A and B are shown apart, each in its own frame.
Chain A
Amino acid sequence: MRRDVVVVAVIWIVLSVLGVLFAASWDIYPPRAGVEAEHIDEAIRILMMLAAPVFMFVVVMMVYSIWRFRAEDEREEGPPIYTNRPFTVSWLVLTTVLAGVLFYNPGYVGWKFLKSNPTADLVIQVTAAQWHWHVTYPQYDLTIKSRPIGFERMDENQVLALPAGRRVKFEVTSDDVIHSFWIPALRLKVDAVPGIVTTMYTTVTETGSYEENSVFRVQCAELCGTGHPRMTMPVVILEPEEFEKWIEEQKEMQEMGGMMEEEEEGH
C-alpha cells in the first residue's frame, strides 16, 4: 500500500506543477482596458493557480482508486479502515490554510486595491432606465442616451467614450428598476439602484472599441424586464486629445440634430 501512496503522490505533484504552470501562462482573458481590470484578471489567474493542485488531488485520488481498487468478485469487502488521523488532520489544516491564503490574496489585498483610490479626473454620471443608459459628462455639460436597439444595430447606437490614461468615477443610479452597469473590458460592474447612487472607480489604460471586441460595451447585467438584452451600448476608449475632440463633435451633433433625435425617440 505504501507503493500506492508514493505513486499517487508523484502523479499528483507532476500534474499539479503542470496545472499551476498552465494556469499561470494561460491567456484566456479577453482584452482589458483598465488598471483595475489587470488586477481582477490577476486575481482570476491566482485563483486558477491555487485551484489546480486541489483539482488534481481529488481527480488523481479518484481516478487512481477507480483504476486500482476494483472488486474482483461481487461480495468481496475492503479493509475496515474507519479513519486515518494524520490524513484527516493534515487535510483540515491544509484546507484551512488554503482558504486563509486565498482570502488574503487575491481577496483582501485585491479589495484593498480596488477601494484604495477614491479620486478621479473625470466624473461620469450614469442613470439607467428601462431600457436606456443616460450618460452625463458633467465636466463637459454633455449627456448622451443609448437606444434599446441591441446588438444587431449596435453601430447605429450612441457611444460611451472614455479617455485612455485618466482616472474615471462612475456615479450610477436608476430611474425605475434595478439595473447593473457593466463594462466587460474594465472588468467592473455596479448595480444601478433607484434611490441610491453607487460608484465605481477605474483608471483607464488602453484604447479600444466595440468593433475590435464586444467586451468594449456597456451591458446591463441585472435582469430588468423585456428590453434587458438590448440595454447595451458600445464603448470606445480614445487617446485624451481624441476624446476631447469626440466631446466637441457630440456637442455639435446634438445642437444640429437635437430635433431629429427627439423624433427618433418617438418611434
Chain B
Amino acid sequence: MLPVFRGLLWGLIGFAIGALLTALVRIALGMEPWVFGPLFFVGYLFGLAGWLLGVGVWDTWMREFLGMEPRPYKEEGWRRYFGFNTDHKVIGIQYGVTFIGMFLLAGLLAMAMRIELMRPGRDIFDFATYNRVMSMHGFLMVLVAVTAVPGMFGNYFVPLMIGADDMAFPRMNALSYWIWPPAAILLLLSPFFGGWDSGWTAYPPLAITNEPGQMFYNLAFFTGGLSSVVGSVNFLTTIITMRAPGMTWGRVPIFVWSIFMTSIMSLTATQFVGVAMIMTVLDRVAQTAFFDPARGGYPLIYQHVFWFYSHPAVYVMIMPSWGIMLEILAHFARKPLFAYRWAVAGMAGVTALSFTVWAHHMFTSGMPETLHVPFMATTEAISVPTGLIFLAALGTLWRGKLRFKTPMLFALGMLFNFLIGGLTGVFNSDLPADMHLHDTFWVVSHFHYTILGGGIFGLIAGIYYWFPKMTGRMYNEALGRLHFWLMFIFFNLTFFPMAWLGLHGMNRRIGDYPPDLAGMNMFVSMAAFILGASFLIFVYNLVVSWIRGPVAEANPWGARTLEWATPSPPPEHNFPRVPEVLSGPYDYGVPGAVHAKV
C-alpha cells in the first residue's frame, strides 16, 4: 500500500478515536455529546497524529524509538513521490507540484472573483459565496507565497548550493512536507461545512460566530505553521553546519542567505499565528471567550497576535524571491553580485525590523493612539534595508553583459513590480494617507505588486532558471518569453488601476461596488482574464517540456554556483565527493577563478 493511503486510513482512525473520546468526556460532564465543533477539533488533532504515523513517522522514528529496525521509504520512479522520502530533491519536487497546483486553483478562484466584479450588482455569486471564494483565494495564495519557494527551491537547492549531500535532518524534511496534506484536505472540505467568509485574516468576533467551515481554516493554518517551523529548523541547521569545506559565510550564495533569514522569521514568528488560530477555535468550541467583549474578552488581541506573525510572513513571502532575483541577475549579467555584503545586511535588517512593524495593519483598528507613531517609524525604517536589495540589483546590472533569457526577464520584471509594490506600501505606512487607503483596493494593488509581482514573479523566474536542473530537460524559450510578456503587461494592467479604484472609494473584500466605478472594474477584469490565460502557456510549457523537452546540459546558463556543477538532474547523493570551495560564487570576469573543486 502506498504510504499516502495508509496515512489516510490511520488518519481516519485517529479522527474517530479523538471524536469518540471527546463525546465520552462530554457525556461524563453531562453535556450534549454530539456537537460538531469540539468533536471535530479534537478529532482533527488525533487524525493529524494518525496521518503522520501512517504516512511514515511510524516506520522511521517510532520503530526506532521502540527498538525495532526502521523502514525507510526507498522507491524508484513515480512511486518515490508518494511516500516518506527523505531525499531533499524528491521533497523539493513534491512541494513544487503541490504548491503550483494550489496556485493554479487559487488563480481560478481569482478569475471567478473578477467575473463577479466585472459589473456592479450580483452576477454569478451571491454575496456569501463571493466572501467564501475570496477567503479561499486569499488563504491558498498566502500558503503558496509562504511555502512554494522555500519548499521547492529551498529544499532542492540549499544543500546543492552549499555542497552538502542532503539536509541536516532528512526525516524532518519529509515530515515538513507530509504535514501539508491534512491542511489541504481541510481546505478542500471546508466548503462542505459552510466555508469561511472572513478572509485570510479571519478577525474575531466574526470568525467565532460564522459557519463551522471557519475552523477548517484555523486548523489548516495551524497545521501549515507546524510545517514551517519544522522546515525552518532544518534549513538553519543545514546552512550552519553542513556547508562544504571552504564555503565560508562570505561565500554562501545569496539565495541561501535569503532562505537563512527567512527561516529565522518562520522559526520565531509562526508560533504566534498558531496561538491565534487555536484561541479562535477554543472560543468556538470551549467558550474560552478570549475575544468576546461581552465576557471580558478583547477582539484586538487577536489582531496583535495574528499580525505579529503575519507581517514577518510577508517578508517570508518576498525574501526568498529576492534571493532568486539577485542570483539570476548576477548569473545573467555575468558579473559579481554587487555589494554582496550590503545585500546580506539588507536581508538581516529586514528580518530584524520585520518583528517591529505589525501594528501598521491596525492604524484604524481603534488601538491606542500612542502606538501609531512608533509603528509608522519602524515601518518606514524598513524601507532602508529593503533599498539595499535594489542597490545590489542595480549595481549588478550596471556594466554587466546581460543575456535576456526567460529567467532574466522574470527577474527584471520582478525588480520593476516590486519597486511599485514598495512605493505604494509607503503610502500605507503613512498614517494620514492610511486613514483613507486602509482596507481599500489600494491595498489590494499594493500587496499583489509585492506578493504576486514580487514573490510569485521570483518563483516563476526560479522555475525557468532551475527547470533544466530539476527535470533534466529544457523548457521552450519562445513560449517562456511569450509567457513573460503577457504576464508582465497584463499583471500591471490588472493591478495598477486597482490603486485608483481604492483611492476612489472601492473597499476590498467586497462583492459589489458603486456603479460609478464600473468602467475601471470592467477594464481590470479584462486584463485579469488575459493575465490568467498567460498561465495556460506556462503550464503547457512545463508539462510538455518535462515529458519531451530537449535534454538539458549540466550547466546550460554557464552559472557558477555549485548546483550547476552536478549533472541535470543531480544524482541521489549530489556530489561524487565533498566539494572544496575555493572562492565566492560570483567571480565573473576574474581570470582563472574557480568557485569549487567537485
Contact = CB atoms under 8 A, between A and B. Distances in A.
Interface string A95-107: 1100100110011
Main secondary structure of the interface of A (DSSP, over half): mixed
B77 to A, nearest CB: 35
Contacts of B30: none
B197 A225 contact: yes
A108 interface: yes
B431 A114 contact: yes
B588 A78 contact: yes
Contact of A99 (B126, B366, B384, B500): B384
A223 B440 CA distance: 11
Given A65-B400, A190-B366, A151 B512 contact: yes
A198 B363 CA distance: 12
Interface string A1-35: 10010000000000000000000000011100000
B587 to A, nearest CB: 7
A80 B587 contact: yes
A85 to B, nearest CB: 9
B439 A189 contact: yes
A169 interface: no
A225 B500 CA distance: 25
Interface in A222-255: 222-230
Nearest to B437: A44
Contacts of A182: 439, 507
A83 B342 contact: yes
A35 to B, nearest CB: 12
A263 interface: no
Interface stretch (A52-60, A120-128, A132-140, A157-165): A52-60
A152 B121 contact: yes
B588 A195 contact: no
B364 A191 contact: yes
Nearest to A182: B507
A1 B395 CA distance: 14
A88 interface: yes
A129 to B, nearest CB: 12
Given A30-B503, A81-B399, A61 B394 contact: yes
Interface in B304-328: none
Contacts of A75: 558
A78 B427 contact: no
A40 interface: yes
A20 to B, nearest CB: 14
Interface stretch (B49-57, B68-76, B181-189, B368-376): B368-376
Contacts of A217: 505, 514
Given A66-B412, A84-B395, A92-B384, A30 B504 contact: yes
A193 B587 contact: no
Counting contact residues on chain B (CB < 8 A from A), the size range is: 35 or more
B12 to A, nearest CB: 33
Given A51-B423, A59-B416, A78-B334, A111 B439 contact: no
Contacts of A80: 335-336, 587-590
Nearest to B584: A82
A111 B210 CA distance: 36
B302 to A, nearest CB: 10
Contact of A180 (B293, B437, B439): B439
Given A61-B394, A214-B516, A226 B299 contact: no
Q: Which of A29, A82, A88, A214 has the most CB of B within 10 A?
A: A82
Contacts of B334: 71, 76-78
Q: Which of B204, B206, B342 has the most CB of A within 10 A?
A: B206
A226 B333 contact: no
Contact of A178 (B299, B373, B435): B299
Contact of B430 (A72, A110, A223): A110
B427 to A, nearest CB: 5
Contact of A88 (B131, B336, B342, B500): B342
Interface string B513-549: 1111100000000000000000000000000000000
B387 interface: yes
A221 B504 contact: no
A177 B209 contact: yes
Nearest to B500: A28
B365 A191 contact: yes
A70 B402 CA distance: 5
Given A79-B589, A82-B336, A228-B510, A39 B432 contact: yes
A77 B333 CA distance: 8
Nearest to A210: B514
Contacts of A51: 423, 426
B573 to A, nearest CB: 30
B298 to A, nearest CB: 7
Interface string B442-457: 0000000000000000
Interface in B353-382: 364-366, 369, 372-373, 376-377, 380-381
A56 to B, nearest CB: 10
A188 B513 CA distance: 18
List the 3 shortest-distance A-B pairs measured between CB atoms, nearest first: A195-B293, A214-B514, A78-B335
22 contacts: A43-B433, A44-B427, A74-B558, A77-B588, A78-B399, A81-B338, A83-B340, A88-B339, A92-B342, A92-B384, A92-B388, A107-B431, A151-B512, A151-B515, A176-B209, A177-B209, A178-B206, A178-B299, A196-B293, A219-B505, A221-B439, A222-B439
Given A108-B376, A176-B209, A178-B206, 10 more contacts: A51-B426, A69-B399, A78-B334, A79-B399, A91-B388, A102-B380, A107-B376, A180-B439, A214-B514, A229-B127
Interface of A: 1, 4, 28-30, 36-37, 39-40, 43-44, 47, 50-51, 54-55, 58-59, 61-62, 65-66, 69-72, 74-84, 87-88, 91-92, 95-96, 99, 102-103, 106-108, 110-111, 113-115, 150-152, 154, 176-178, 180, 182, 184, 187-191, 193-196, 198, 213-215, 217, 219-230
